Amino acid sequence: MKLCICSHNTHKVREINEFLGSHFELQSLTDIGCLEDIPETATTFLGNAQLKAQHVWKHYQLNGFSDDSGLCVGVLGGAPGVYSARYAGVGSKDSDNLKLILEHIKPYQKPEAYFICVIVLILNGQEYHFEGRVSGHLIHTPRGTQGFGYDPIFVPEGHQQTFAEMLPKQKNELSHRSKALAQLKNFLDAL
């Protein structure tokens, strides 16, 4: 089955390909010639995922899925939340976002946090939703070189390593995205 991953994020596309690639023929937004950035203007993860998947269906008539994911920190009232990718402002880099969140959590010892991923699949015009979460806590000194985003400061529950210290295979067994992707895969396999 051919599916579009409604993303330009090369890290995310690689992670999804590692998880689903052998089962499906996957294309990114770049692969289908969609070069524009689809604005994420919704106030929820579901809303942002819908915007991207619906854009691809409307303009390219391709089956595809989109996810919106982020980090939610309890002591920060759920921030950065849907603004995780642009926490330090529009156009900010991972390093900018990481620096800002480290400033915000400085007064707190091991603040609890969770990563969430919401996937919207549009298949022949029908919409389906999947969600994955992983809970843990944040540390104040980044560790590890694997992963991206907030991975160097996130320690999943029951583990000592950050996501950035784990090999991709280990992270993929635990991550919010892999949990949502597993639901998506099970749904597609049952068709």
Query: What residues form DSSP beta bridges with 112?
Result: 137
C-alpha to C-alpha distance for 5 and 1, rounded to whole angstroms: 13
Q: Per the residue annotation, which of 31, 37, 67, 68 is the catalytic one?
A: 68
37 catalytic per annotation: no
C-alpha to C-alpha distance for 78 and 71, rounded to whole angstroms: 8
Which pair of structure tokens corresponds to residue 191? Answer: 């068709």
Which pair of structure tokens corresponds to residue 188? Answer: 């597609």
Peptide bond before residue 80 is cis, with ω within 30 degrees of 0: yes
The answer to whether residues 178 and 19 touch, using CB atoms and an 8 Å cutoff, is yes
The answer to whether residues 128 and 187 touch, using CB atoms and an 8 Å cutoff, is yes
DSSP 87: T
Identify the burial level of 17 via C-beta atoms within 10 angstroms of its C-beta, where 0-12 means exposed, 13-18 middle and 19 or more buried.
middle
- Give catalytic residue positions: 68
